[in-house]
Amino acid sequence: MFKLLKITTIVFFLVLLGDVSGFVIKPMAQETNKLEEQSLMDTNWDEEGTDEEDTVSAESWQEEDTVEASEEDNRAMGILSKADLEKVEAEEKRIHIYGFLLFAIYVLGCILTAYMTRNKRIATEYPPELLILLHTVWPLEIIIVLVMGIKK
């Protein structure tokens, strides 16, 4: 039975790791964007191609595709395009699935830890106050039980 508890603990940490990697990658991506922004800031804009400006002014703006313009407007106004919305929804779904898994495993872990350790040294030789505190942070309790020995 104690094996089940160990497996639950490992699964808990794996799910936690999986979820945490989700919001560790995001700040990293933001950092990369920042670097790109910085490289743009380093550019000497005074010397930047004035020739291109001429070509831009020579273009017929009435024929320009209005879709692109509206997408840019939307972005400027903070309105998300369909692709962006799908991306956000997928991210939310990921958060909810991982979150629910974590919640379920935490609750299961609380019950299993209380049940499995009821006759262990940690439950019989130490004050009950400590035991309850440890049940609240049960992954830590499993580690302590493993270190202290799991025998009765």
Partner 1 sequence: MWEILDLELVASGLRLSTPLILAALGGLFSERAGVVNIALDGIMIFGAFGGAVIAYETSNPWYGLIGAMMLGGMIAHIHGIASIRYQADQVVSGTAINLLAIGVPAVVANALYNSTTVTPNIKLILPIIKIPIISSIPYLDVLLGKYSVLVFFAFAMVPISWFVLYKTSFGLRLRSVGENPEAAATAGINVYLMRYYAVWISGILAGLGGAFLSIAHGSSYVNNISAGRGFIALAALIFGRYTPKLTLAGCLLFGIADAFQIRVQGVIPIPVQFVQMIPYILTMVVLAGLIGKAQVPAADGIPYEQMK
For residue 73, the number of C-alpha atoms closer than 13 Å in the C-beta half-sphere is: 5
Binding mask 90-109 for partner 1 (x = CB under 8 A): --x--xx-xxx-xx--x---
Task: Name the token pair of 126.
Answer: 């130490």
Of the candidate residues 11, 71, 121, 135, the single one contacting partner 1 (CB under 8 A): 135
Of the candidate residues 69, 132, 146, 148, the single one contacting partner 1 (CB under 8 A): 132
5 binds partner 1 (CB under 8 A): no
For residue 41, the number of C-alpha atoms closer than 13 Å in the C-beta half-sphere is: 6
In terms of CB distance, is 72 or 100 closer to partner 1? Answer: 100
DSSP calls for 10-46: HHHHHHHHHHHHHHHHHHHHHHHHHHHHHHHHHS-TT
**Which residues form the interface with partner 1 (CB under 8 A)?**
19, 23, 92, 95-96, 98-100, 102-103, 106, 110, 114, 123, 128-129, 131-133, 135-137
